Chains A and B, each alone.
Chain A
């Protein structure tokens, strides 16, 4: 991919992912955030965070399925934008929704499972965001870095659980996100099994015997 195409792709991602934030800012000034603006803002930020998180988890499957190389070049950007939205989502919960009522928020974190998993997802995202620079990848070493960033799967799961558990019965949207996550992780599992089989078939003793021994 030429650098011009890559720049255009990244610009498109920036614009698309900042669009929801833009609509919230515009809605604030045009008084167009509905009857319960804080709830609307919280939900919009949370949903955008989840979409970006699943998008970043979707890049490796795109490479696997279509043999493209560009998805890996935008994965970090998508992950950092997801972290940005998670932080805004959390900040609105603290500052606008609860007005810094720390004791009540702490009780909610302990008592309400959907909040517990949401806060856990945020906490787990911090080391990933902090080690997202090329310098940090070098310092950690590729293998360690890749192992650490496998946490993204856990965070994706926690994000979807957070959405499933907060939704009232009868709401179907969270299930679409759960299915999407399952597909994205499923592609990885399929690729992993395929690679393992290939490695086994290439092993010195080869063939069915090696596979059976696994």
Chain B
């Protein structure tokens, strides 16, 4: 059986990136990652070998974040749309969005940072960590339907925010 160190250290970069996205602050992200590793090490005996270790680690990090001051603040933000509302119908994207390229990364990053934490985390786990809906549901401890609806809204909100920024930047 692999040791905790062998399983956990390869995830370090990913966990730090996610922590920084959640906290939006370097020091807080470092504290969050450190605490995550400490908690995970203490609870490693409860981890079931063969199950999703990555999802387990992200779940610990996310729970730790929600118990932090920044996390508690983020949890009090009211989502303007109910998780259980049906997904919004897809819209054809406007021509502006297809102009997204590497030069527009900062615009996208700004737009992601502005998303409410419940949307930001589900979007990052799907698009950056490329987790399946089921893995995201496990990591965030929410039903898979909620994952799908939050993801749909997160994408819509991101597109809107980027469009707005692009229009705002257009002379």
Q: A and B from one assembly?
A: no
Interface residues of A (CB under 8 A from B): none
